[in-house]
A and B are shown apart, each in its own frame.
Chain A
């Protein structure tokens, strides 16, 4: 219980104080990093308690469950919380190293961490909504980070589309409260069986739309490339590696736990939408020449796999979906951060992330793909789809890698051709950070 409370209250309080300070100062940035580290630490302690035993359940104010708000940290939630915290931490370290440009950045990231942690450890529907809004609002402000035209335009699209999504979510929350009379998730799950099919399916559709918008699944994805390419790399990493997890988590939590019957009913539709996402994202990513744009489309394709796995369902399908989400979030964080850098280390890291996206071992992405293959082994069509998707991701990942990094190497070689003794790599690696800072030749 203490770890659970600490993981919430530490970033929450610290974020507010940080928001008052000038975040451009290095010290403030590092304090934010420490707070995020503390958050991660508390979550690790929590995970250590949750994973072997039962979930940690606390109801606020000593009231009976349902009257008070139930906070429930189970394996699924803690896993997602850890993952998001890690993504935020790495993005912040990256940005602090590069030099923070706006006063409010560190405070907002830390508050975003508080909101995300809350989303993943709450066991109450409306509490989920408010934490969700906290994380999203911090995200809206962060999307403007940098303050240039591109960032503002991207932030506008991000904010408006996602606001629409959250209001649709709120409408569904109201409906669920009306038909079940409770807000506590386990209570809802128990009472949902008695609700007749029509209302339940309509509410489920509302939740699905809301989370699909967050995830950027195929028909709902149009905001995503604009935003991910328009935002600064650290922010893109935060949005895709941290905030987007809400979508996958929501589909798993709401589909798997609250509305399992509706999920079964919609399995076919989920698989179709997921497949469309895989193909669409993969095909569009192929001809993109800038790394961030490729990554944006790749993100659309990658969440398609998650959706297909959820649609396949069953323990194996769910495990595959979870695993794939974890791997995908890590990949995206890594790639968005390294895509703007140059040099051997950045290149190698990017290659590693790209391998992971393509599902090549020992990169983690392979494990995710393997699970997917296991989950869908029964259906040749899906396996063929996955093979095709993998091939596409292989093509686009390496095309971008070649364009961005090998070209960089060659360019470095040409410019230092007269003195062959001085290795081009040492040159580029020494200018690695300097180059990353100036947004590299874009």
Chain B
């Protein structure tokens, strides 16, 4: 069983990583969702004692690990919080750059930086000239 859970979590993580590398920012958010699901699945799997739900009165036989479930719950909530935040952030970035393509965002940043660099070079040259 541990192999299967590990395999499923790894597939989620791998596809999540693949999506994180996409140029489309919305797909990056999908990637974060998948990676967080992988983490939650791993948390549940980490307490995999395969028993009844840990609710009193306890049935005979094995009981599932309640602690890993509590951790999984917390992780799900945090995952929801950060995903919603990231999605809204992506929306604002798309609106600000008028493009949801990462590549274009990067290109604009590079252009801006190059402009800044040239400006500084020029200022520096002027300073040198003035000093002489």
Contacts and interface: CB of A to CB of B under 8 A. Distances in A.
A binds B: yes
Interface of A: 126, 130, 133, 137, 140-141, 144, 148-150, 152-153, 155-156, 159-160, 163-164, 167, 170-171, 173-175, 177-178, 183, 226, 289-290, 403, 407, 410-411, 414, 442
Contacts of A141: 85
A178 B82 contact: no
A160 B68 contact: no
B42 A174 contact: yes
Contact of A177 (B38, B47, B92, B120): B47
Contacts of A442: 116
A295 to B, nearest CB: 15
Contact of A175 (B13, B25, B42): B42
Interface in B28-54: 28, 32, 35-36, 38-39, 42-43, 45-47
Contact of B92 (A152, A170, A403): A152
A126 B71 contact: yes
What's the dominant secondary structure at chain A's contact region? helix
A152 B105 CA distance: 11
Nearest to A176: B46
Interface in B111-132: 112, 116-117, 120-121, 123-124, 127, 130-131
B7 interface: no
B96 interface: yes
Nearest to A136: B82
26 contacts: A126-B74, A137-B81, A140-B85, A140-B86, A148-B96, A149-B96, A152-B89, A153-B93, A153-B97, A153-B105, A156-B90, A156-B93, A156-B105, A160-B32, A167-B32, A171-B13, A173-B71, A174-B45, A175-B42, A177-B71, A178-B45, A226-B109, A289-B121, A290-B120, A403-B124, A407-B124
Nearest to B39: A170
- Name the 4 nearest CB pairs between A and B, nearest first: A178-B46, A174-B46, A289-B120, A170-B39
Nearest to B70: A126
A175 B117 contact: no
Nearest to A130: B74
A164 B117 contact: no
Contact of A167 (B38, B81, B130): B38
A410 B128 CA distance: 11
Nearest to A403: B124
Interface of B: 13, 20, 25, 28, 32, 35-36, 38-39, 42-43, 45-47, 67-68, 71, 74-75, 78, 81-82, 85-86, 89-90, 92-93, 96-97, 105, 108-109, 112, 116-117, 120-121, 123-124, 127, 130-131
Contacts of A411: 127
Contacts of B131: 410
B25 A137 contact: no
Contact of A152 (B46, B96, B117): B96
B47 A144 contact: no
Contact of B35 (A140, A148, A164): A164
Contacts, number: 105
B82 A160 contact: no
Given A152-B96, A164-B35, A171 B89 contact: no
A430 to B, nearest CB: 23
With a 10 A CB-CB cut-off, give which of B38, B85, B130 has the most chain A CB atoms: B85
A153 B109 contact: yes
A153 B96 CA distance: 9
B120 A156 contact: no
A177 B117 CA distance: 50
A149 B97 contact: yes
Contacts of B71: 126, 173-174, 177
A174 B97 contact: no
B38 A171 contact: yes
A175 B68 CA distance: 11
B36 A160 contact: no
B86 A160 contact: yes
A131 to B, nearest CB: 11
Nearest to A410: B127
Contact of B82 (A130, A137, A156): A137
Contacts of B75: 170
Contacts of A226: 109
A169 to B, nearest CB: 9
A152 B78 CA distance: 22
Contact of A174 (B43, B124, B127): B43
B109 A160 contact: no
Contacts of B92: 144, 152
A442 B123 CA distance: 12
A174 B120 CA distance: 49
B88 to A, nearest CB: 10
A137 B82 CA distance: 7
B39 A177 contact: no
A212 B85 CA distance: 24
Contacts of B130: 410, 414
A177 B43 CA distance: 9
B20 A167 contact: no
Given A152-B89, A167-B38, A414-B130, 4 more contacts: A137-B82, A167-B32, A289-B124, A410-B130
